[in-house]
Structures are given as structure tokens and as C-alpha cells.
Homo-oligomer: A and B are copies of this chain.
Amino acid sequence: MRMASQELQKLLMPIDEDLIFKSGNPDDLRLGDLITPIADVELGNATAVVILGIPQHIGVERNNGRPGAAGGPTEIRRALYKMATHSISPTMQAGKLMIIDAGNLDIAGKTLEQIHDEQHDVVAGLLRKKIFPIILGGGHDIAWPTMRALETLGEKYGVINIDAHADIRPLQDGKRAHSGSAFRQLLDVEHSHISAGGLVEFGLQEFSASKEHTSAIKAAGMHVMMLDEIRMEGIAFAWQEALGHATTSANTYISLDMDAFASAFAPGVSAPAADGFAPWEIAQCIRTAARNPALKIFDVAEMNPEYDVDGRTAKLAATMIMHVLSGIAERIKD
């Protein structure tokens, strides 16, 4: 089975090979050593994960945010491919798990609307082939074409957005999407396939998200879990509750906006917050979720290298992706 049709592959741009770190040492394999180039993938019976970059921040600029997230895919990859593969390399070496870097969506000369359409087409194509997409933003508007692909798939699904912000601002002029509108676009879908109560906004901050916005989410029958409430309840319990809402079907999508972390840990984001999650909190959440076969898509948004400090945020994003990959490997072994 080919990973993607030639038509879809035309939408993609290969990345600079220098980003794919190679240790060349069998005793110390790094993810870059085990990545499969997209050119001649034959999936066989392997579980397949595709890494796909969306190198644009057009939606951030529309939302009056600070540009820079277009550089996210490059810097995340630079960190990601140096990571030790610890528990996933045996599964990969046994041919049961393939991780493929599909490169970046080719955005040159395109409007945000065209980019979203093409992201939708690629993600829907991957989902149809039962391939797990890991999408590297870019602005958080990347969440919308992914959810639209889930709608196209036509099966019930659930979504957890880990974020300081609700991202349910209306479209501009009623039609222009931006980095703060993805979940508004979801709520506006008529006859959506999302499960009843299947959207969970996890970690929203009281001083970053308005009451009107959180009320609108609840009015739509969806769930808001505020950062302070999560802490009161304890994050392990709160996360189980979130998973309970979003994992009633076989299709769950987790979107991680890097500004959900306290800015000490994630300085390189478009809109930093002084308070927020610590790395160890989200690591455990994501790992738990990734072990469940219901998790079908993961993305990381708003990583902004312009404001990063010595690659700290890129490494944090890469660490979270490694937890997803490890969770997927653990599914296969179990």
C-alpha cells in the first residue's frame, strides 16, 4: 500500500535532510536513525505515523499575534530527530511501527484558505489509510482543517484541546479563519460528527479566556476544564474525565497549543502565559492518551522559534511528540 496518492504527494515539500539527525550508532539510536523517507514507503502491516509540517503563521497575524510560528516545524524537527528512541526502537526495528516524515505542506504563494483546503486533503487521505498524522504547526488554525478531515471521514470523533485560550473567536468578516477561530469553526458545523460533549477545552486560563467564550462552549454541550479547576481536582483525575468525554468513539484528536505551558517552560510561543502547565503534567496526560488506540491524530501548535530560548520550547514540543510515539509503540506491544 502506498502511503499517499501521487496527487497528495504533490502538495508536499521535502525538508532539509540536515534536520534528520543520525547517530549511526546501534547502541544509541536516535529517532532520525529510524525515520522512513516518504519517497518509497511500503506500509505492509505496520502501524504508520506521518509527521507533517504546516510552516505558516498567516492565521496568527490575522489574529494580531506575534509572527514566528512558521518556523515551528523546522525547529521541532531539529530537536525531535535527536531524541533517544528508548522504548520505541524495538517496535520500529521489528517492522511493526513506521514513522514517516512527509515533509511540509507547500504553502508558497497560497492563501490561508488554500492551505487549509490542502491540509484537509492530506489529513483526510492519511486517515482513510489508517495512518496516524502528527501535525507540526504553525498557528493554531491548523486544528480546523484537521477537524474538517475528521468530518469528511464521517465517523464519530472527540477532541481535546490543551490550551490557555479557548480559540472560539468568530471568523473575521464572517469568513476569514485565524489562529483563534478553529473551535468556533467546529461548533458552527451543521450536523457535525463530533460526539455529544466530545470537545474538551483543557487548561483554559481564567485571565486568557473570557467568560462569554467559555459559556458559549458549554452552551454547545461541550466541556471546559479551567486550569485552576484541574489543579483543585488533581490533573490525573481531571485528565481521565477529559478522556472520558473525548474518547467515547474510536477517533480522538488531541491538539496541544504550546502556550498551555507556563512560559518558563515554553518561552517560544506566540502568546505566552506566566502560569500554566509544567512539562511533567502534560507528559503523563499525553502518554496515557496515546496508549489508547482511539487516539488517531495529534498536533502541536504555536511553537514560535522567534521567542524561544536556546531551543527550549522546540525540545518541549519534541518531547511531547516522543510521548505520543512511545504510547503508540506501547499499544502495539500490548
Quick check: is A16 within 8 A (CB to CB) of the other chain?
A: no
Bound form: Cα–Cα A261–B125 in Å? 41
Known pairs A84-B207, A208-B84, A275-B319; A309 contacts B267 (CB<8 A): yes
Is there contact, CB below 8 Å, between B326 and A206? yes
For A89, the chain B residues whose CB sits under 8 A away are 210-211
| Selected interface stretch from A50-58, A137-145, A242-250, A310-318 | A310-318
A interface residues, how many (CB within 8 angstroms): 52
Residue among A27, A207, A210, A326 with the most chain B CB within 10 A? Answer: A207
Bound form: Cα–Cα A197–B269 in Å? 44
Is there contact, CB below 8 Å, between A90 and B262? no
For A83, the chain B residues whose CB sits under 8 A away are 207-208
Bound form: Cα–Cα A87–B89 in Å? 48
Using a CB-CB cutoff of 8 Å, which residues 186-239 of chain A contact chain B? 205-214, 228, 231
For A185, the chain B residues whose CB sits under 8 A away are none
Residue of B nearest to A26 (CB): B212
Q: Of B206, B280, B316, which one neighbours A231 at CB under 8 angstroms? A: B280
Is there contact, CB below 8 Å, between A210 and B85? yes
Quick check: is A35 within 8 A (CB to CB) of the other chain?
A: no
Quick check: is A65 within 8 A (CB to CB) of the other chain?
A: no
Residue among A28, A86, A284, A319 with the most chain B CB within 10 A? Answer: A86
Is there contact, CB below 8 Å, between B319 and A84? no
Residue of B nearest to A206 (CB): B86
Is there contact, CB below 8 Å, between A312 and B206? no
Is there contact, CB below 8 Å, between B84 and A272? no
Residue among A89, A287, A316 with the most chain B CB within 10 A? Answer: A316
With A274-B315, A274-B319 given, name 9 new contacts (CB 8 A). A27-B210, A86-B207, A86-B209, A89-B211, A206-B322, A231-B280, A267-B310, A275-B280, A309-B309
Residues of A within 8 A of B (CB): 26-29, 83-87, 89-90, 169, 205-214, 228, 231, 262-265, 267, 272-276, 278-280, 283-284, 287, 307, 309-313, 315-316, 318-319, 322, 326
23 A-B pairs (CB sep. < 8 Å): A27-B212, A27-B213, A28-B212, A83-B208, A84-B205, A86-B209, A86-B214, A228-B284, A262-B279, A263-B312, A264-B265, A264-B312, A272-B315, A273-B315, A274-B313, A274-B315, A274-B316, A274-B318, A275-B279, A275-B280, A275-B283, A275-B316, A275-B319
